[in-house]
Amino acid sequence: MIEKYFIKLQTIDRIRANWLGEPIERYVAWLDDRGYGSRNVFRRVPLLMRFSTYAQSNGAKAWEDLPQHVPGFVSGWTREHGLNRRTDRSRKSVANEVRGPIEQMLRLILPDFSLTGRRKPFPFADQAPGFLAHLRDERGLRPGTLHSYQQYLRQMEAYLKDIKASSLRELSPAVLSAFITRQSAGCGTTMLVGLCGVLRVFLRYLFREKLIAQDLSQTIEGPRVYRLSSIPRSISWTEVERMLAAVDRRSVVGKRDYAILLLLVTYGLRGREVAALTLDDLDWERERLKVPERKAGHSTAYPLSPIVGQAIIDYLKNGRPQRSDRHIFYRVTAPFDPMTNGGVSTRASYYLHKAGVPVPRPGSHTLRHTCVQRLIDAHFPLKTIGDYIGHASPESTAIYAKVSIENLREVALGDGEEVL
């Protein structure tokens, strides 16, 4: 692969003769496969060659020895190339520019590097090493949910460090209450409910494994949340049209985002479900769209709307990068990886803001709520709507039926006395 970027045979021979020649060549192939430009290869290969020399001169004899030499090399490089950087932020950017390529290469050749490199291990991994496996293997939680657990427990880890509590055995109702009180000042009800739920699961696990003396999960009392107390985050169809009109469909980004927005608002899909769609989920012959592995544990097959189908075809022909992976939607800049749940939601939020549509917590779920509200207004049964959007129970759909949007609009216009 390096022959694609380097013409001189001496240069190619020098790279391959290096003791890290094979990892460097593998890394170049990785960059090429993900659509990085030539300038990235020309800048990163010399950097990796210098790191190779530094590590070897400092005693590295095997690839497994490389991670321990990364901090020293990054510090030296930052001192050498960050002399003209006046702020800590700009000096940090120099460090990140050199650390990134090295760690990307190390992740390719060392399967366990993500545990020993820059990424932090799972919270309390030293005191409760089996908790992550418990969540993943016993409870079957998805990566997104595991990330939420990680964020909440990291907050607790930082709090215990602040109060000089070195062991989980020092946990008590008073400590937990103080922690939740402090966190409640900076988060809403939904986040606080999530935090309390995570703590209960964690504390039950600690007690089960005899890592703490008593079951403290019973002492965690979250905020009281009343069923059907919130208002759906739907927008009107006029606002949907305004949002779609804000998409510049001449660009690659616009072609991709237009197809994503149509999928969200037409079928009420979750952001995760859109990100997971593959070419195999499109049945052009029967004009069907299949959504596998939904949250409720089943799959759904929809008639493929002509408007949605045309938008997807436009993106596939004129926007999607040529990748061997079967995912439909990709990033438009290197690395050309499939889009994530967060990426889908971010694009929806971007166009809602761009169109000037006021909505609390804008994102992909706003369009999902809009799809459901439109079906409610058309007087479809809750069971039918729940099946359409992938709800496991009609109770999950009931939240959308509690507000008669059209009647409330009549009241707001001043002629709703008859409605009342």
Residues catalogued as catalytic: 270, 295, 365, 368, 391, 400
CA 223/CA 47 separation, integer angstroms: 52
Give the bridge partners for 289, in sequence order.
Answer: 282, 302
Task: Enumerate the H helices of 213-340 as residue ranges.
Answer: 237-245, 252-267, 271-276, 306-318
The helix or strand, by DSSP H or E, that contains position 90, with its residue range, turns out to be helix 88-109
Own/partner contacts of 48-51, CB < 8 Å, gap of 24 or more, are: 48/20, 48/24, 48/101, 48/102, 48/105, 49/15, 49/18, 49/20, 49/24, 51/20, 51/102
Q: What DSSP state is assigned to residue 124? A: T
Query: In 61-79, which positions are buried (b, 16+ CB within 10 angstroms) versus exposed (e)?
Result: eebeebbebbeebbeebbe
CA 152/CA 299 separation, integer angstroms: 31
The helix or strand, by DSSP H or E, that contains position 366, with its residue range, turns out to be helix 364-377
Tokens of 339: 């889009």
Q: In the chain, how long is the greatest CA-to-CA distance?
A: 87
- In angstroms, the Cα distances linking 132 to 169, 245, 366, 401 are 19, 44, 32, 38
